[in-house]
Amino acid sequence: MKKTLISLCATAIAAPLAFTAAPALSQEFSIQFGSQRDRYDDGWSWREREMLRREARREARAAYYNGYRGYRERQPGYVYRDGWWYPAAAFALGAIVGGAVANDGPRYAPRARGSAHIDWCYDRYKSYRASDNTFQPYNGPRQQCYSPYS
């Protein structure tokens, strides 16, 4: 009984393998020798194709400036920058913001220092106030400034 079961299992395993191998043997079998260029000979290597793809992506990214599309050809009323022609409105916001940033703001006259005592207290304490001769320490209430000149 055991031998019959083993032979039946072996036949069940071998039968599908025999049927699947038969059509494969009827096909022609050949090995291709030669370079990849022979198979895809369009005059470009894969490196050249990849370089062109990267360049196209780079050019597509460079075609916008401050949200405005740039053009390769000259356009009336457009400004030339980085090999592209952009509308003048692309630079208007930059000029306005640049002018605001470059503005220095009001200039104040330097404070008048009256005496050596006040100069010494200003140099010693960052929070010194000359109007009441006090400074604010890191802990506690405001204190009087006592200098060697007082």
Task: Write the single-letter amino acid at 23.
Answer: P
pLDDT tens, the chain, 150 aa long: 778 878 777 777 777 766 665 555 566 666 666 555 555 556 667 678 788 777 776 655 557 766 676 777 787 888 887 777 877 777 776 777 777 777 767 777 776 656 889 989 999 999 999 999 999 999 999 999 999 987
Q: Are 63 and 69 in contact (CB under 8 A)?
A: yes
CA–CA distance, 49 with 32 (Å, rounded to integer): 24
Q: Where are the domains of the chain?
A: 66-96, 115-144
DSSP 131-146: TTTEE--SSSS-EE--
**3-state SS, residue 9:** helix
Q: Are 121 and 111 in contact (CB under 8 A)?
A: no
Count of CB atoms situated within 10 Å of the CB of 75: 13
**3-state SS, residue 107:** coil
pLDDT for 6 equals 84
Instruction: Give the residue from 133, 135, 116 showing the smallest Cα distance to 125.
Output: 135
Task: Write the single-letter amino acid at 125.
Answer: Y
